[in-house]
């Protein structure tokens, strides 16, 4: 009888990382794939990206609607409550042998909590990382403590998961999943990408994504004002914006981006590029600007520079291709100038991605297939040697 692996995906971002794990589960004898879509996948505001999952050939077994109708803390707390109940019903229906989750989002915390009380083991991807500027930091570590198997992107993150009390034999260093997508997806060349976007990349271009810094209340508008002021003067540079995720104050940022794009012929905004177009953009633009994790996890594999603004990603491993700067227009302008400088561009030829060279999904699936689950729910706390 096949071991049923229930994969939960809540956004375009985590699906981009989970896609090849899902594919390898589906193709592996002895494993059966179940898919639950939730979060922004089901939101018209964020592009109804559940359709991308189905267009890739996957069957969505359950949809858990969180009703992401507003971006206030109270609304998100209500959404988490709805998600908790929805996941309880989904797990009762699917009866998986193991739930597979990724990362640090509030919808994933709800899924993990539902699995805990349903006595369903949890495998967690990309634990042990640190993002000090966002409440994702706390959520990620909470999911680690709810989980039974751990797949991390680097040895430093493995040590941190063990420091949280997890058994070393249950923590596997596999590398970053984003690199798998880069290696395995057929990406668009420049001409095909421009046709798909309906936008000419011109001679110079940047990919821009800015999310709310959730541990800095009421900062979204102020920080976005600074970023857009720095971008305003780049008349000869094409700007491709992707809209923010469903954190508090996301609508402030989305509205400001839309107003900026309406006033600047050299800019376009997209609710969701989809994985192929997003990674194709990474391969074709001159660099990445903002505070998205992809600037640290995926951009180095393309040999592209990243301008990482502010505190959201503070604590994560970063390649030498990452330029950190404050969320102030003068600092951002200086970082853009450095990105385009011949001296910096010459360093990109030898950049190594600290998240590895690919192959993470196959390593994960081998463990999912073979690891004994009989007594996995009980977790002795692993104390570090004094």
For 11, residues 6+ apart whose C-beta sits below 8 A from its C-beta are: 39, 40, 41, 46, 49, 105, 107, 245, 246
Distance of CA 293 to the CA centre of its chain: 6
Choose the CATH number for 187-350 among 3.40.50.2000, 2.60.120.10, 3.30.2320.80, 3.90.1150.10: 3.40.50.2000
Q: What is the pTM of this model?
A: 0.85
Q: Are 269 and 261 in contact (CB under 8 A)?
A: yes
pLDDT at 218: 62
- Of 122, 124, 127, 130, the closest CA to residue 153 belongs to 127
Q: What angle do CA 242, 19, 284 make, to 5 degrees?
A: 45
Residue from 242, 333, 271 nearest 49 by CA: 271
Give counts: helices (H), strands (E), the chain: 15, 13
pLDDT attached to residue 2: 94
pLDDT for res 219: 78
Within 8 A by CB and 6+ apart from 319, the residues are 296, 300, 351, 352, 353, 354
Contacts of 136 (CB under 8 A, 6+ apart): 103, 104, 105, 214
User: Maximum distance among all alpha carbons in the chain?
Assistant: 61
Burial, 6: exposed, middle or buried (Cβ in 10 Å; 0-12, 13-18, 19+)? Answer: buried
State which residues of the chain have pLDDT below 50.
Answer: none
CATH class of 3-175+359-370: alpha beta
Question: Measuring CA to CA, which residue among 112, 309, 276 is closest to residue 210?
Answer: 309
Domain with CATH 3.40.50.2000 in the chain: 3-175+359-370, 187-350
Give the integer Cα–Cα distance in Å for 107 and 278.
23
Q: CA-CA distance, 257 to 231, in Å (whole number)?
A: 11
What gap in Å lies between CA 182 and CA 359, rounded to an integer? 11
pLDDT confidence of residue 121: 98
The pLDDT value recorded for residue 39 is 92
């Amino acid at each position: 009888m096949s071991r049923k692996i229930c994969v939960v995906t809540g956004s375009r971002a985590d699906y981009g990382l989970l896609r090849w794990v899902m594919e390898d589960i589906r193709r592996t004898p002895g494993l059966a794939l179940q898919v639950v879509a939730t979060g922004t996948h089901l939101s018209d505001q964020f592009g109804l990206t559940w359709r991308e999952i189905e267009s890739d050939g996957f069957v969505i077994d359950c949809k858990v609607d969180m009703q992401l109708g507003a971006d206030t803390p109270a609304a998100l707390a209500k959404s988490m409550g709805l998600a908790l109940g929805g996941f309880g019903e989904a797990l009762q229906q699917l009866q998986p042998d193991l739930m597979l989750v990724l990362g640090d989002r509030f919808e994933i915390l709800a899924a993990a909590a539902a699995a805990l009380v349903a006595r369903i083991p949890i495998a967690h991807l990309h634990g042990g990382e640190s993002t000090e500027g966002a409440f994702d930091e706390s959520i990620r570590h909470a999911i680690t403590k709810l989980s039974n198997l751990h797949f991390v992107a680097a040895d430093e993150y493995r040590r941190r998961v063990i420091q949280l009390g997890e058994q070393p034999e249950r923590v596997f260093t596999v590398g970053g999943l984003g690199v798998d997508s880069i290696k395995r997806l057929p990406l668009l060349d420049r001409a095909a990408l421009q046709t798909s976007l309906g936008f000419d990349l011109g001679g110079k271009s940047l990919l821009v994504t800015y999310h709310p810094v959730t541990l800095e209340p009421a900062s979204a508008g102020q920080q976005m004002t600074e970023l857009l002021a720095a971008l305003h003067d780049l008349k000869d540079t094409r700007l491709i914006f992707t809209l923010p995720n469903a954190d508090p104050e996301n609508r402030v940022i989305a509205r400001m981006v839309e107003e900026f794009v309406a006033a600047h012929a050299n800019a376009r905004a997209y609710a969701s590029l989809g994985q192929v177009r997003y990674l194709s953009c990474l391969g074709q633009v001159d660099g990445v600007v903002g505070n998205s994790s992809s600037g640290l996890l995926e951009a180095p594999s393309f040999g592209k520079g990243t301008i990482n603004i502010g505190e959201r990603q503070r604590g994560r491993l970063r390649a030498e291709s990452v330029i950190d700067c404050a969320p102030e227009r003068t600092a951002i302008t200086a970082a853009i100038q450095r990105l385009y400088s011949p001296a910096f561009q010459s360093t990109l030829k030898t950049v190594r991605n600290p998240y590895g060279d690919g192959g993470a999904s196959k390593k994960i699936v081998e463990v999912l297939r073979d690891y004994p689950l009989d007594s996995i729910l009980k977790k002795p706390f692993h104390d570090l040697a004094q």
